[in-house]
């Protein structure tokens, strides 16, 4: 039932009741002539009010009718509706609105909370969050005087913030952040004496902060970043001594940072970058012992010192960037900053050497000291966790220490004085000499006269005016650089997107088409930076050039939602000169051209983030400079060839002739080898093209390009059948996973082709799709669809930041079961997987599970009850009869599924030696809890909630699937039906014998003998033909599943 109808009916009935009540108390003296109404009309009205399905009788309602009307009017104007969970039968203050166990910050949206007495309920909390509602701040909020929490952030509200907001005296938490509100801030907000949190960041206000806000003495959180306010911070703010969080970045605040900030003894987070404050930084900030996160940047004048941080021992993130700090770094720096994880002192005037203690901080992961005047050599030792280091643009020199070659290290040493030769070089710093301060590559001997770069793209493009743009999709993250192979151009990037879950340094490709350009392809990608991005032209002939910079915003959503409200603002420098201040990107193409003079064979284009713009639209860490394409072309007739030189001296000619003669001899041998190889490849192709069911045949060159020559950075994992790489097909842009089968698998060509043909016919929504294959000599490759969320084991056990909720886990369990049921029972050929485990269950973006690696084991015939073959599988998931006797049926997969189901349920691996002895082995621990009637104690403690009935179903099914005898395990079609509740669970008879007779202290021989004896019991059970038992008969369940599995298979 819609909210509008419910609330209208509720309000109508309340007013009808009130009017009748007032009419009955009027005196005859004041009574006016009344309209006579016929009895049938009255009876009809009574019938409608009483019996119409959405009508609510007055005596059964509780919410204040004035508040109901206000709420209904706002929701109607915004085109949104309440959910039935809190708007039961038209009364807003029902259901979860009055249920204390449902938090206001839950997923319910829109949402209200109410407080009720014996006669009436009042709305105390209102949330309309991230729904992109538009219009002005509604006047109807006046009618909700009991509001203590108002959350209208991430919408499209416009106009001023009305002064009547200051009359909502009960208000404690109020946020209008991320809207398009404008005008001055109302001083009346200063009347909200109970206010604890105030947020109006990411808006378009103007004027200064009202001094009346200094009366908000209970305020703990103040979020005003990118709000548009300016001027000096009022002196009355000295009374806000309960503040714990201040976000005031990217505004027009002026004057000095108030000295009284040092009296905010409870302060934990302070962000002031991107304003127009003057220095120095007040030393009083050193009193903030509880401060965890300090970010100050972009001071316009004054000289600051680092001495204020001496006593700030709680700091976790310290960013003093572009603040004109003139100081040396103390030798004992590590003594009072042991908790630091991120330190950024870049773009200052620091001098002296880098203290060894700074490189030994136990928790430091990010260190940015670029653009200072530090000298000396690099510290000889470094903590292993320090993996992101920017030391660019200093005066450092000397030899490289051993840690420079550490794996996963991001290190930027551009713009220093290192002499790089055979005695001082590192494979991890290729062509770094080209980007030292003297820029020696081709200096004074130029060979280039132009260059152009398609930033962030893997494609080389020729524009409509004939300019050739080089690709530029190299991985450049926190502290990185790159120089092109021909030493024509380079790029340097520093900075980290703080708080971003998945930092993006390259945006796109986007499918957007840009109307105002003939070169739309140049704007499909863009390179971004969290701090500073520099491009260099190297070895250019001196003279006048035109620098053309192309921009198009693709990081924000170009739609009618709040995600379009982002602002990206940065500065542009060329040859060290500021050419554009506070440049702001737009959704349309912007192209800016500059005329420059090259006098030392070098061009430097610098995009610098000065703290301006929004930080968190559409997600945390969306800010900083963005560039789509760069071109530098001469305004003169060049005298150089704009190409690499050729060697024309006699020595080269002689050497060339000798090499040519030798090459001719070798060529004959190569030709013979090539002819044989071509015959083999033609034979391969004939066999491949004979497979009419194959979706595609890929060339080896195509897959090499897609995976960047099978680069280690693209490696997704390695299993028993080989290594898997991520790739992107250049032909259509598809993401793919390429399995490079290992030569040790001993698969013949025909075996390989037969397996491919089988796999290609098996299609189901819970099976990984095979796109195609490739044979190149001895190489065999399979091309699968790419699964965005990787494998289930990485999600369950490896990603500490992601906790799968219960509905997702339950869906993964059911989806995996359906995939196995299809393999076992509905596929044209029956397939036993043999290695079902969490790492072989891959997840799509929406966490839909898909089984991988099926069909890479032997197929089995319908009439066979077992196959004797080599055991393929993983310890912990192997069924007993398969592990010890090689007895293979589909029930081997059923056993493995039972183990995986318990892993999904418990969030732990099947074996964990770090746990107490009785909990090391998952199956043993699960059965012990089950026997004690404490089965639900095995549920993952990280789950916020779960469905108890569904959990019990999974536990029962998992324990049934892991029975000792394979005949006691149900077929997968029956497993699916039990999981979804279509058939009842019949009960587990007893704990499996392989657990009851097993002791922790038994030797491996004893365990082997024990299991062998148990398997003899299994053999005897096989002979008793227990398949006739109704509990095991799967005909009914298979019939019930058939239509569903076949439908999903299509």
What is the tens place of the pLDDT at every residue in 886-901? 888 899 999 999 999 9
Tell me the C-alpha distance between 248 and 394, whole Å: 31
Please, what is the Cα angle at 484 between 479 and 486, to 5 degrees? 155
Residue by residue, DSSP assigns 757-783 as HHHHT---TTBPPEEEEEEETTEEEEE
Tell me the C-alpha distance between 995 and 923, whole Å: 8
Dihedral of the alpha carbons of 38, 43, 45, 46, in degrees to the nearest 10: 140
Q: Is the peptide bond before 391 cis (omega within 30 degrees of 0)?
A: no
Tell me the C-alpha distance between 966 and 960, whole Å: 10
Q: State the residue for tokens 């720096």.
A: 333
Decide if 404 is inside a domain. no
SS3 693: coil
Both tokens of 85, joined, read 């969970």
Tell me the C-alpha distance between 75 and 58, whole Å: 22
What is residue 742's predicted lDDT score, i.e. its pLDDT? 72
Q: Residue 103: pLDDT above 60?
A: yes
Q: Residue 860: pLDDT above 70?
A: no
Tell me the C-alpha distance between 265 and 262, whole Å: 7
CB atoms within 10 A of CB 400: 19
| Together in a domain, 145 and 71 | yes
For helices 948-961 and 972-980, angle between their N-to-C axes, nearest 10 degrees: 160
Q: Which residues contact 509 (CB under 8 A, 6 or more apart)?
A: 457, 524, 525, 733
User: Structural domain tally of the chain?
Assistant: 4
Taking CA atoms, 1024 is separated from 275, 748, 869, 1013, 1014, in Å, by: 83, 40, 25, 18, 16
For helices 972-980 and 891-906, angle between their N-to-C axes, nearest 10 degrees: 30
Taking CA atoms, 100 is separated from 88, 96, 103, 149, in Å, by: 16, 8, 7, 15
Residue, of 826 and 229, whose pLDDT is higher: 229
The alpha helices in 522-630, defined as continuous H runs, are: none
What length is written for the chain?
1050
Q: Residue 150: pLDDT above 70?
A: yes
- Give the CATH number of the domain where residue 756 resides: 3.30.200.20
**Could you tell me whether strands 410-412 and 269-271 are parallel, antiparallel, or unpaired per DSSP bridges?**
unpaired
pLDDT tens, residue by residue, 196-211: 999 999 999 999 999 9
Candidate list 6, 298, 390, 835, residue with the active-site label: 835
CB atoms within 10 A of CB 530: 22
Per DSSP (E only), the strands in 932-1036 are none
Q: What is the mean pLDDT of residues 96-123?
A: 93
What is residue 426's predicted lDDT score, i.e. its pLDDT? 80
Both tokens of 471, joined, read 């690709």
Tell me the CB-side half-sphere exposure of residue 352, using CA atoms within 13 A. 10
- Give the CATH number of the domain where residue 205 resides: 3.80.10.10
For helices 972-980 and 1035-1049, angle between their N-to-C axes, nearest 10 degrees: 90
Q: Residue 678: pLDDT above 80?
A: no
SS3 1043: helix
Of 634, 651, 669, the position where a domain reaches its end is: 634
Residue 317: φ, ψ to 5°: -130, 125
Contact indicator for 522, 628 with CB cutoff of 8 Å: yes
Tell me the C-alpha distance between 441 and 834, whole Å: 58
SS3 427: coil
Q: Tell me the percentage of the chain whose pLDDT exceeds 90.
A: 57
| DSSP-assigned letter for residue 334 | G
Tell me the C-alpha distance between 252 and 274, whole Å: 8
Long-range contacts of 115-120 (CB under 8 A, 24+ apart): 115/146, 116/62, 119/62, 120/62, 120/63, 120/64
Contact indicator for 135, 80 with CB cutoff of 8 Å: no
| Together in a domain, 814 and 726 | no
| Together in a domain, 743 and 800 | no
Decide if 387 is inside a domain. no
Tell me the CB-side half-sphere exposure of residue 546, using CA atoms within 13 A. 10
Q: What is the mean pLDDT of residues 55-61?
A: 38
| Together in a domain, 844 and 725 | no
What is residue 250's predicted lDDT score, i.e. its pLDDT? 97
Both tokens of 270, joined, read 């302070």
| Together in a domain, 917 and 988 | yes
CB atoms within 10 A of CB 644: 11
Q: Which of 52-61, 160-169, 345-354 has the lowest mean pLDDT?
A: 52-61
Q: Which residues contact 701 (CB under 8 A, 6 or more apart)?
A: none
Q: State the residue for tokens 């019990």.
A: 952
Contact indicator for 360, 383 with CB cutoff of 8 Å: yes
Both tokens of 870, joined, read 């080599």
Decide if 327 is inside a domain. no
Query: Which domain range does residue 223 map to?
Result: 65-311
- Give the CATH number of the domain where residue 923 resides: 1.10.510.10
Q: Residue 35: pLDDT above 60?
A: no
Tell me the C-alpha distance between 142 and 432, whole Å: 64
- Give the CATH number of the domain where residue 460 resides: 2.60.120.430
pLDDT tens, residue by residue, 945-982: 999 999 999 999 999 999 988 888 999 999 999 998 88
Q: Tell me the percentage of the chain whose pLDDT exceeds 70.
A: 82
Tell me the C-alpha distance between 539 and 351, whole Å: 31
| Together in a domain, 537 and 620 | yes
Both tokens of 762, joined, read 């098996």
What is residue 61's predicted lDDT score, i.e. its pLDDT? 53
Dihedral of the alpha carbons of 994, 997, 1002, 1004, in degrees to the nearest 10: -30
Taking CA atoms, 368 is separated from 275, 339, 574, in Å, by: 21, 16, 23
| Together in a domain, 873 and 750 | no
What is residue 886's predicted lDDT score, i.e. its pLDDT? 81
For helices 891-906 and 806-821, angle between their N-to-C axes, nearest 10 degrees: 170
| Together in a domain, 576 and 716 | no
Residue, of 276 and 1000, whose pLDDT is higher: 276
Q: Residue 268: pLDDT above 70?
A: yes
Position 6 confidence tier, pLDDT thresholds 50, 70, 90 = very low
Kindly tell me the burial class for residue 271, based on how many C-beta atoms sit within 10 Å of its own C-beta (0-12, 13-18, 19 or more).
buried
What is residue 577's predicted lDDT score, i.e. its pLDDT? 95
Decide if 547 is inside a domain. yes
Decide if 399 is inside a domain. no
Tell me the C-alpha distance between 118 and 115, whole Å: 10
Sign of the CA dihedral running 722, 886, 888, 904: negative
Contact indicator for 191, 213 with CB cutoff of 8 Å: no
Residue, of 294 and 862, whose pLDDT is higher: 294
pLDDT tens, residue by residue, 334-386: 776 778 999 999 999 999 999 998 999 999 999 999 999 999 999 999 999 99
Contact indicator for 414, 433 with CB cutoff of 8 Å: no
pLDDT tens, residue by residue, 279-334: 999 999 999 999 999 999 999 888 999 988 888 889 999 999 999 999 999 888 87
| Together in a domain, 233 and 89 | yes
Instruction: Of 150-159, 648-657, 985-994, 1033-1042, give the range with the top mean pLDDT.
Output: 150-159
Rounded mean pLDDT of the chain? Answer: 83
Decide if 1045 is inside a domain. yes
Position 800 confidence tier, pLDDT thresholds 50, 70, 90 = low
Contact indicator for 369, 375 with CB cutoff of 8 Å: no
Per DSSP (E only), the strands in 913-1030 are none
What is residue 1033's predicted lDDT score, i.e. its pLDDT? 33
Cα Rg, the chain, nearest whole Å: 35
For residue 780, the cross-strand partners are 775
Nearest to 177 by CA among 193, 148, 154, 157: 154
Active site residue 805: no
Position 779 confidence tier, pLDDT thresholds 50, 70, 90 = confident
pTM of structure: 0.60
Task: For residue 739, say whether it is annotated as part of any ligand binding site.
Answer: yes
SS3 807: helix
Q: What is the mean pLDDT of residues 929-944?
A: 91
Position 123 confidence tier, pLDDT thresholds 50, 70, 90 = very high
Of 295, 311, 327, the position where a domain reaches its end is: 311
Dihedral of the alpha carbons of 182, 188, 189, 193, in degrees to the nearest 10: 180
| Together in a domain, 762 and 824 | no
Instruction: Of 415-429, 433-447, 687-701, give the range with the top mean pLDDT.
Output: 433-447
Decide if 191 is inside a domain. yes
Widest pairwise Cα distance in the chain = 128
Tell me the C-alpha distance between 235 and 1009, whole Å: 83
What is residue 685's predicted lDDT score, i.e. its pLDDT? 57
pLDDT tens, residue by residue, 1002-1011: 433 444 444 4
Q: Residue 1028: pLDDT above 90?
A: no
Tell me the C-alpha distance between 753 and 612, whole Å: 58
Contact indicator for 632, 603 with CB cutoff of 8 Å: yes
| Together in a domain, 750 and 812 | no
Both tokens of 200, joined, read 């109006």
Position 400 confidence tier, pLDDT thresholds 50, 70, 90 = very high
Decide if 866 is inside a domain. yes
Nearest to 173 by CA among 238, 124, 131: 124
| Together in a domain, 706 and 617 | no
pLDDT tens, residue by residue, 736-763: 999 887 754 455 566 666 667 667 778 8
Of 761, 785, 809, the position where a domain reaches its end is: 785
């Amino acid at each position: 039932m819609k909210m509008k109808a419910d609330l209208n009916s509720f309000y109508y009935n309340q007013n009808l009741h009130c009017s009748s009540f007032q009419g009955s108390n009027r005196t005859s003296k004041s009574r006016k002539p009344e309209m006579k109404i016929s009895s049938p009309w009255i009876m009809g009205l009574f019938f409608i009010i009483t019996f119409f399905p959405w009508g609510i009788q007055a005596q059964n309602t509780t919410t204040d009718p004035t508040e109901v009307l206000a709420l209904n009017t706002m929701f109607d104007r915004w085109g949104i509706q309440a959910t039935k969970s809190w708007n039961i039968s038209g009364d807003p203050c029902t259901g979860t609105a009055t249920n204390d166990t449902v938090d206001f910050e839950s997923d319910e949206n829109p949402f209200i909370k109410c407080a009720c007495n014996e006669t009436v309920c009042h709305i105390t909390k209102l949330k309309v969050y991230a729904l992109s509602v538009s219009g002005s701040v509604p006047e109807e909020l006046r009618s909700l005087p009991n509001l203590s929490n108002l959350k209208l952030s991430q919408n499209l509200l416009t106009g001023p913030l009305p002064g009547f907001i200051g009359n909502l005296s009960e208000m404690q938490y109020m946020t209008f952040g991320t809207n398009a509100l404008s005008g001055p801030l109302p001083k009346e907000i200063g009347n909200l004496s109970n206010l604890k949190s105030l947020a109006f960041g990411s808006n378009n206000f103007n004027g200064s902060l009202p001094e009346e806000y200094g009366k908000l003495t209970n305020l703990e959180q103040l979020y005003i970043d990118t709000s548009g306010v300016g001027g000096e911070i009022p002196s009355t703010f000295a009374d806000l001594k309960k503040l714990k969080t201040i976000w005031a970045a990217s505004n027009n605040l002026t004057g000095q940072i108030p000295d009284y900030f040092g009296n905010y003894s409870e302060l934990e987070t302070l962000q002031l970058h991107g304003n127009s404050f003057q220095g120095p930084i007040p030393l009083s900030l050193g009193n903030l012992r509880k401060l965890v996160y300090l970010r100050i940047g972009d001071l316009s004048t004054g000289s600051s010192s680092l001495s204020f941080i001496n006593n700030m021992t709680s700091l976790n993130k310290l960013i003093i960037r572009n603040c004109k700090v003139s100081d040396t770094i103390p030798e004992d720096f590590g003594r009072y900053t042991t908790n630091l994880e991120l330190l950024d002192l870049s773009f200052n005037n620091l001098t002296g050497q880098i203290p060894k203690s700074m490189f030994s901080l136990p928790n430091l992961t990010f260190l940015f000291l670029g653009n200072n005047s530090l000298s000396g050599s690099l510290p000889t030792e470094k903590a292993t966790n320090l993996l992101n280091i920017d030391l660019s643009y200093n005066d450092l020199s000397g030899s490289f220490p051993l840690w420079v070659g550490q794996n996963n290290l991001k290190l930027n040493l551009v713009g220093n004085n290192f002499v790089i030769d055979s005695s001082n070089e590192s494979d991890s710093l290729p062509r770094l000499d080209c980007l030292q301060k003297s820029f020696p590559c081709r200096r004074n001997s130029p060979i280039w006269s132009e260059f152009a770069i398609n930033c962030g793209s893997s494609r080389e493009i020729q524009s409509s005016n004939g300019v050739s743009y080089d690709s530029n999709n190299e991985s450049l993250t926190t502290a990185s650089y790159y120089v092109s192979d021909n030493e024509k151009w380079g790029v340097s990037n520093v900075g980290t997107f703080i708080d971003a879950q998945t930092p993006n340094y390259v945006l796109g490709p986007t499918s957007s088409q840009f109307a105002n350009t003939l070169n739309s392809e140049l704007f499909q990608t863009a390179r971004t930076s969290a701090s500073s991005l520099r491009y260099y032209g190297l070895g250019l002939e001196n003279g006048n050039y035109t620098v053309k910079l192309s921009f198009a915003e693709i990081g924000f959503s170009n739609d009618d939602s709040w995600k379009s409200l982002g602002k990206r603002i940065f500065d542009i420098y060329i040859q060290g000169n500021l050419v554009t201040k506070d440049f702001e990107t737009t959704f349309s193409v912007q192209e800016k051209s500059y005329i420059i003079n090259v006098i030392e064979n070098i061009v430097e284009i610098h995009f610098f983030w000065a703290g301006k713009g929004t930080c968190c639209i559409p997600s945390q860490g969306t800010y900083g400079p963005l560039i789509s394409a760069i071109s530098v072309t001469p305004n003169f007739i060049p005298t150089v060839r704009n190409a690499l030189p050729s060697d024309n001296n006699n020595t080269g000619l002689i050497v060339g002739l000798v090499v040519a003669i030798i090459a001719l001899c070798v060529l004959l041998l190569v030709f013979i080898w090539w002819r044989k190889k071509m015959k083999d490849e033609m034979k391969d192709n004939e066999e491949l093209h004979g497979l009419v069911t194959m979706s595609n045949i890929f060339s080896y060159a195509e897959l090499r390009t897609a995976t960047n020559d099978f680069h280690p950075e693209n490696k997704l994992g390695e299993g028993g059948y080989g290594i898997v790489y991520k790739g992107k097909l250049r032909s259509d842009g598809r993401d793919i996973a390429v399995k490079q089968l290992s030569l040790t698998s001993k698969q013949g060509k025909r075996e390989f082709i037969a397996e491919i043909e089988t796999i290609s016919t098996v299609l189901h929504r819970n099976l990984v799709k095979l796109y195609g294959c490739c044979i190149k000599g001895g190489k065999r490759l399979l091309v699968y669809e790419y699964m965005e969320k990787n494998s289930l084991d990485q999600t369950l056990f490896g990603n500490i930041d992601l906790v799968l909720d219960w509905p997702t886990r339950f869906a993964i369990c059911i989806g995996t079961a359906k995939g196995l049921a299809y393999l076992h029972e509905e596929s044209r050929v029956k397939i036993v997987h043999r290695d079902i485990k969490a790492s072989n269950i891959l997840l799509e973006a929406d966490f839909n599970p898909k089984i991988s690696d099926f069909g890479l084991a032997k197929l089995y015939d319908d009439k066979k009850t077992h196959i004797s073959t080599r055991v393929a599988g993983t310890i912990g998931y192997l069924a007993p009869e398969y592990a010890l006797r090689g007895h293979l049926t589909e029930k081997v997969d059923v056993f493995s599924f039972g183990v995986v189901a318990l892993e999904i349920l418990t969030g732990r691996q099947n074996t964990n030696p770090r746990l107490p002895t009785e909990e090391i082995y998952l199956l043993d621990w699960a059965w012990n809890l089950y026997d004690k009637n404490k089965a639900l104690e095995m549920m993952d403690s990280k789950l916020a909630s779960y469905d108890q009935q569904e959990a019990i179903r999974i536990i029962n099914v998992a324990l049934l699937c892991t029975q000792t005898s394979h005949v006691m395990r149900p077929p997968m079609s029956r497993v699916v039906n039990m999981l979804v509740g279509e058939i009842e669970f019949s009960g587990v008879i007893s704990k499996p014998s392989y657990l009851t007779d097993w002791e922790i202290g038994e030797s491996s021989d004893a365990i082997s003998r024990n299991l062998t004896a148990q398997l003899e019991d299994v053999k005897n059970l096989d002979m008793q033909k227990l398949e006739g038992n109704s509990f095991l008969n799967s005909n009914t369940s298979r019939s019930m599943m058939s239509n569903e599995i076949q439908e999903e298979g299509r």
